[in-house]
């Protein structure tokens, strides 16, 4: 698909479909919209009336234009209340326009939407992201050629945004990272393994000139990563501790670490997940690693003046005669001992050693993200990720980054007294606490493995996957976290 910007007025644009944004209850057409309606022989007013179009955010309507017109179809896209216009509104409007054009089998599409805060670059980027992500379809595992192809939108022009080519390039670079994350998370566990994640990191490093370090099992043993290796010991596949580094030219403005949970399949271990528990979806348990590698791909292209370390302790959590038992005691690389009271709380064990490793790099801040707890989904639902941090500064940075990215975060409490429920008689701590506040105690567990570096934890268990179409997210993996991480690094 060709995506470009132009200053051609919508009155003069020609092509298969023209998408126009309307605010809520904007039924009276004024200025150039009235002129456009007149040019289209009243088609706009007729479409508004016949479909009872109210301009509600996320709504759309389309119809054919009479013969002799320079456009074949007109598409209306709802923008909601005028005072509620956000970048996410434009992102979703771009997605709605693209999906309507695809449904109407239009090859060329013009999109005319208002500016956000008078910022043409941010507007162009948001619309382009919506278009790019909405039109992406993961058909890798389909055998039907028609399903693989389908109708295609070949060219999209953003009207009134001429000169914003750099914003379009930026949007496509970010979306390439989101799409990588989607493809990694969506692929089954027989396709994406710890070895696959390491190979993906290697491919990014080779293509964009990043530094790569892969620690094998023996290397991790030397570093005392007993928590991570305890999880890995039942799998026939080797664990891969991935450390990918982007370094800018010159002195970096700051140094950051991003850690993604990389469980390519989670059986639950000896505390096995039962049928009906969603075990078939445990291929998504590397959603944090997928987002981390997706962010790495985007950052490598954007080339900010920030040094970023991308880390994932990748493995499977399987069942065999080598599996860790409930009641085992593991020793993490910072010397802390952990009594295993639930082998299905394994992600935090891999993150523990990854956090210790990251802090030794001398970075200014660490963010980990993980599909960590069902408790977070119960608390916040499927569309919002949880944010925990002892640092108000890092928390505020991430909240602002997520607002710009259109990925919802909600800051959760770090109630220190809850850690009492994780104390062990025989070790420093247990790996799980009582059922109430399970997402909070998981964050408190991770906190034990960060000494002084400002740190935040994102629990993305809910929004990493959608079953139904939602804006620019088609059913399947969303690539959640990539755009927030990129926005944070660039801030």
Phi, psi torsion values for 223, nearest 5 degrees: -85, 0
Catalytic residue among 4, 273, 336, 411: 273
CA distance 85 to 126: 12
One DSSP character per residue, 142-169 reads ---HHHHH-----EEEEET-TT-HHHHH
Dihedral, CA of residue 31, residue 66, residue 109 and residue 30, to nearest 10: 10
Dihedral, CA of residue 471, residue 474, residue 478 and residue 484, to nearest 10: -30
CA distance 41 to 39: 5
348 is catalytic: yes
Catalytic residue among 182, 283, 348, 408: 348
* Contact call for residues 275 and 268 (beta carbons, < 8 A): no
Percent of the chain that is helix, strand, coil (3-state, to 5): 40, 20, 40
Q: Which among 77, 73, 128 is positioned nearest to 105, based on CA atoms?
A: 73
CA distance 124 to 149: 27
Phi-psi label, residue 410: left if phi above 0, alpha if psi -120 to 50, beta otherwise = beta
Token code pair at residue 194: 């710890």
CA distance 357 to 340: 21
* Contact call for residues 401 and 484 (beta carbons, < 8 A): yes
| Angstrom distances, CA of residue 12 to CA of 40, 75, 107, 110, 161 | 12, 16, 18, 11, 15
* Contact call for residues 395 and 365 (beta carbons, < 8 A): no
Token code pair at residue 429: 């701590």
Interacting residues of 157 by C-beta distance below 8 A, sequence separation 6+: 4, 5, 6, 8, 13, 15, 108, 109, 110, 111
Catalytic annotation, residues: 273, 348
């Amino acid at each position: 698909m060709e995506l470009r910007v132009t200053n051609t007025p919508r009155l003069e644009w020609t092509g298969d479909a023209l998408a126009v944004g309307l605010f809520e209850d904007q039924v009276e057409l004024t200025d150039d919209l009235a002129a456009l309606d007149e040019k289209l022989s009243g088609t706009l007013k007729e479409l508004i009336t016949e479909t009872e179009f109210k301009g509600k955010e996320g709504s759309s309507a389309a119809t054919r234009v009479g013969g002799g017109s320079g456009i074949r179809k007109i598409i209306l896209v709802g923008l909601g209340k005028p005072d509620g216009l956000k970048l996410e509104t434009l992102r979703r409007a771009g997605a709605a326009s693209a999906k309507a054009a695809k449904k109407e089998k239009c090859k060329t599409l013009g999109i005319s939407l208002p500016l956000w805060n008078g910022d043409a670059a941010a507007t162009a980027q948001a619309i382009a992201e919506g278009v790019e992500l909405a039109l992406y379809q993961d058909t890798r595992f389909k055998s039907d050629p028609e399903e693989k192809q389908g109708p295609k939108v070949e060219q999209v022009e953003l009207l009134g945004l001429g000169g914003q080519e750099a914003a379009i390039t930026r949007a496509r670079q970010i979306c390439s990272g989101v799409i990588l994350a989607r493809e990694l998370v969506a692929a089954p566990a027989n396709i994406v393994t710890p070895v696959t994640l390491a190979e993906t990191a290697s491919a990014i490093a080779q293509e964009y000139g990043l530094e790569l370090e892969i620690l094998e099992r023996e290397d991790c043993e030397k570093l005392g990563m007993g928590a991570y290796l305890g999880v890995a010991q039942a799998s026939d596949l080797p664990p891969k501790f991935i450390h990918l580094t982007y370094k800018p030219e010159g002195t970096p403005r700051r140094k950051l670490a991003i850690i993604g949970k990389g469980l390519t399949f989670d059986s639950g271990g000896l505390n096995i997940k039962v049928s009906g528990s969603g075990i078939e979806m445990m291929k998504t348990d590397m959603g944090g690693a997928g987002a981390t590698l997706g962010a790495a791909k985007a950052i490598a292209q954007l080339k900010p003046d920030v040094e970023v370390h991308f880390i994932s302790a990748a493995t499977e959590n399987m069942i065999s005669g080598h599996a860790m038992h409930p009641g085992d005691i593991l020793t993490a690389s910072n010397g802390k001992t952990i009594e295993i009271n639930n082998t299905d709380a394994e992600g935090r064990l891999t993150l523990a050693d990854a956090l210790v490793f990251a802090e030794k790099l001398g970075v200014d801040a660490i963010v980990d993200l993980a599909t960590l707890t069902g408790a977070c989904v119960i608390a916040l639902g499927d569309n919002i990720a949880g944010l925990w941090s002892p640092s108000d500064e890092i928390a505020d940075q991430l909240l602002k980054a997520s607002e710009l990215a259109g990925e919802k975060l909600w800051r959760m409490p770090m109630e220190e007294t809850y850690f009492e429920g994780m104390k062990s008689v025989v070790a420093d701590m247990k790996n799980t606490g009582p059922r109430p506040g399970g997402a909070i105690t998981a964050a408190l567990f991770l906190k034990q493995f960060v000494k002084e570096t400002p740190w935040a934890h994102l629990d993305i268990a809910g929004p990493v996957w959608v079953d139904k179409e939602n804006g620019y997210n088609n059913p399947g993996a969303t690539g959640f976290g990539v755009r927030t991480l990129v926005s944070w690094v660039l801030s």
